[in-house]
Amino acid sequence: MSERIREKLNILADAAKYDVSCSSSGGTRKNDNKGLGDSHASGICHTYTEDGRCVSLLKILLTNHCIFDCAYCVSRKSNDIERAAFTVEEVVSLTMNFYRRNYIEGLFLSSGIFKNADFTMERLLKVVKKLRLEERFNGYIHLKTIPGASDELITEAGMYADRMSINLEMPTESGLKLLAPDKSHQDVIQPLGLVQNQIVQFKADKKLIRNVPKFVPAGQSTQMVIGATPETDKDIMQTADTFYRNFSLKRVYYSGYIPISNDNRLPLLGSQPPLIRENRLYQTDWLMRFYGFHVNELLNDINPHLDIDIDPKLSWALRNLQFFPVDINVAAYKMILRIPGIGVSSAKKIVQARQFGKLRIDQLKKIGVAYNRARHFIKCADSPYQLKDYQGTQIKSFIMAESQSKYLKHDTQQLILF
Amino acid sequence: MVYLIDGSLESLLCAVFDWFERKPGKVSLKVLKYYQPEAFNAVHTVYNDPSNADRVWKGLGQKLDKGWLRRFYCTFLAETAEAYVTLFEFACYIFSSLPGAEHNYGNPHVLKLAQTAKKVEREKHRMEAFIRFQQTSDDLFYCGIDPDFNVLPLIMSHFKNRYADQKWIIYDLKRHYGLFYDLEAVSEIHFSLEEERTLSKPAREQLSEKEGLYALLWNDYFKSTNIAARKNTKLHVQHVPKRYWKYLTEKKVL
């Protein structure tokens, strides 16, 4: 018995690991029925795998049997791998027992499509209902919306899940058509829209009626595979931006493609996953969501790709030197946020602290500003007087000379003559 | 001038009271535990008067909002000699300035307090993440910890709300006290050294029969959810520093 469950867990956890989302934040469920579990507003990462990704949810597939044959997916029909399926009871008891030992924040349940979309969605729904109603489980549940499932099933699932997600898979329609001819972005947009409308509806009701049940309190997210098809960074981020705006998504995840197939449409087996590119995309995503940048400022027709050797904020600043240097003792908060080397919390501290007197370099360093980077872009009370204006390339070379990229094994610094 | 306190919150607050009453100018605050007598400095041993302490705490409550009071308390739980000095200087600064002075991050004591509180909150969050309960044969969930700071008071309500339907014990092996939840309320417990030793290495028959299976399944899960092609040990260790590995079931060889 225990051997079989070990085997199943290995197969189905292995198949689920390419789903990046692991956040457990935004849940609002309180343990008011003396049951098990209570949401933590910011989420908790209980451990990290050796590749440095957080583990906060028990992330498994209900089954890896699938009727689709998408070239980028390990569980595709034509792939020769071991198949397995959990029963509803098995998933429930694993979740409960892991949660009791403080291993996890909750469950991330996805599934291959077996028979048809409705049948699969019904099984997922059974698991969450049993957890919530019979086991009185108040932990976090992230449920995959199965494209093509009926509206009633999706709406009912939303009453029990904290977050629902559905993957775009490829950043553009043409990329998707190339690798998964049966799928289209429209299949994703329809359920995303449905859930979004319901969330808005329930929120509006909540204002009028006190006891409105929770509906997907942690919102929706999606994921795109990058590096499998030849999209530019601009295409990717513009798609992300559109989805953030149209569906108020909480997160868009970018997953660097890890070669898993010999298909000649895809990168070769054994080639490196695009980790730096992925990192730069996430940095851009953060700049859009927390730093007030518009996607067109960072990526446009002149710069369709992100710089690999410097981060997008620095890259933007070097292209727009006319805004700098910024006097941090008078500049607006929005402008301080745009200085490379200053993050959100430093910017907030600066704005509060400068009411008590002009800030000096030593104070900035203590507050936590990356001064070696920021000094090319700021003026403060005791900034040294500088006669010469440096060019963008020169500033870049100063910063690059001081910092050691974690991705570069050998420093290949090109000499600058002028 | 040296102000000598015994290290309790009360004595710290009384030191602030005494400073305003006596106006001695610059003083250095020392904790009895680490104190070495000095030849050329006058010493004032702070007398713990609960009414004075109350008055100072109330005063702080009027000057600071809830978030800052919590930071003050967190810094106190850091229990380092440096933290006591920071708290003392911070309180004196707050009382002698206009309202809103806590936002002056240019002041070294304000900044230090905010940073120390952050460290304590981080340790608290790590304990919420890295505690791994073991189910005993009498249906109790046990975990022993030795956190860098005294975070048990901070994590109590989190575990009480979360595990409302199971009995649990979290024991601080470094500070020799623990929390016990009996399905109704949380109480403080103390074990003898002997008991502490058996608890840190429980025998197989003391654990529930399912415990081994779930630990094994968790270990398996931890391995199969890893993507070998993306291996990044530096990042891994940054998120899970090695000093916490002793707690983690997934880091033990079963």
pLDDT score at B25:
86
Residue burial A54-74, b: 16+ Cβ < 10 Å; e: rest = bbbbbbbbbbbbbeeebbbbb
User: Is position B126 within any domain?
Assistant: no
Residue B253 contacts by C-beta under 8 Å, 6 or more apart in sequence? none
Distance CA B126, CA B72 (A): 20
Neighbours of B125 (CB within 10 A): 18
Asked whether residue B211 carries a pLDDT value surpassing 70, the answer given is yes
Asked if the C-beta of B184 comes within 8 angstroms of chain A's C-beta atoms, the answer is no
B152 and B80 co-located in one domain:
no
User: Is position B203 within any domain?
Assistant: yes
Number of domains in chain B: 3
Segment A251-267 mean pLDDT: 86
Q: Which of B93, B119, B145 is the last residue before a domain boundary?
A: B119
Segment A384-406 mean pLDDT: 83
pLDDT band at A26 (very low <50, low <70, confident <90, very high): confident
Distance CA A221, CA A142 (A): 10
Asked whether residue B105 carries a pLDDT value surpassing 80, the answer given is yes
B34 and B71 co-located in one domain:
yes
Locate tokens 């699932």: which residue? A157
Segment A83-99 mean pLDDT: 94
Q: What is the largest CA-CA distance in chain B?
A: 66
pLDDT digits (tens, 9 = 90+) for B164-179: 999 999 999 999 999 9
Segment A363-383 mean pLDDT: 92
Inspect the interface and report whether the beta carbons of B239 and A54 lie closer than 8 Å.
Answer: yes
Q: Which of B85, B119, B153 is the last residue before a domain boundary?
A: B119
pLDDT band at A1 (very low <50, low <70, confident <90, very high): low
Closest CB to A31: pick one of B130, B164, B229: B164
Report the gap between the CA of A43 and the closest CA in chain B (Å). 10
B159 and B244 co-located in one domain:
no
Inspect the interface and report whether the beta carbons of B224 and A102 lie closer than 8 Å.
Answer: no
User: Is position B21 within any domain?
Assistant: yes
B74 and B156 co-located in one domain:
no
Residues of A within 8 A of B210 (CB-CB) are 97
Inspect the interface and report whether the beta carbons of B162 and A37 lie closer than 8 Å.
Answer: yes
Segment A268-292 mean pLDDT: 90
Asked whether residue A341 carries a pLDDT value surpassing 90, the answer given is yes
Asked whether residue B200 carries a pLDDT value surpassing 80, the answer given is no
User: Is position B124 within any domain?
Assistant: no
Average pLDDT, chain B: 92
pLDDT score at A309:
86
pLDDT band at A413 (very low <50, low <70, confident <90, very high): low
How large is the angle between the packed helices B108-130 and B81-95, nearest 10 degrees? 130
Inspect the interface and report whether the beta carbons of B101 and A356 lie closer than 8 Å.
Answer: yes
Residue A215 Cα distances to A151, A355, B67, angstroms: 14, 43, 30
The domain in which residue B98 lies consists of 2-119
Asked whether residue B196 carries a pLDDT value surpassing 70, the answer given is yes
B115 and B19 co-located in one domain:
yes
pLDDT band at B228 (very low <50, low <70, confident <90, very high): confident
pLDDT score at A417:
66
Window 9-48 of B, Cβ < 8 Å to A:
none
Asked if the C-beta of A44 comes within 8 angstroms of chain B's C-beta atoms, the answer is yes
Segment A275-297 mean pLDDT: 94
Report the gap between the CA of B233 and the closest CA in chain A (Å). 6
Size of the A and B interface in Cβ pairs below 8 Å: 155
Domain boundaries, chain A: 2-221, 312-402
Closest CB to A59: pick one of B104, B225, B250: B225
B93 and B172 co-located in one domain:
no
Level-2 CATH architecture, domain A2-221: Alpha-Beta Barrel (3.20)
Segment A370-384 mean pLDDT: 91
User: Is position B235 within any domain?
Assistant: yes
Residue B3 Cα distances to A99, A340, B195, angstroms: 48, 44, 39
pLDDT digits (tens, 9 = 90+) for B46-82: 999 999 999 999 999 999 999 999 999 999 999 999 9
pLDDT digits (tens, 9 = 90+) for A302-335: 999 998 889 999 999 999 999 999 999 999 999 9
B15 and B113 co-located in one domain:
yes
User: Between B199 and B152, whose confidence is greater?
Assistant: B152
B110 and B6 co-located in one domain:
yes
Report the gap between the CA of A176 and the closest CA in chain B (Å). 24
Return the residue of B nearest to A138 by Cα.
B162
User: Is position B247 within any domain?
Assistant: yes
- Between strands B167-172 and B140-145, the pairing is parallel
Residues of B within 8 A of A352 (CB-CB) are 103-105
Asked if the C-beta of A31 comes within 8 angstroms of chain B's C-beta atoms, the answer is yes
pLDDT score at A34:
86
Return the residue of A nearest to B234 by Cα.
A52
Return the residue of A nearest to B110 by Cα.
A353
User: Is position B14 within any domain?
Assistant: yes
Segment A127-133 mean pLDDT: 94
Average pLDDT, chain A: 90
Asked if the C-beta of B164 comes within 8 angstroms of chain A's C-beta atoms, the answer is yes
Report the gap between the CA of A173 and the closest CA in chain B (Å). 27
Contacts 24+ apart (CB under 8 A), B37-40: B38/B2
Asked if the C-beta of A48 comes within 8 angstroms of chain B's C-beta atoms, the answer is yes
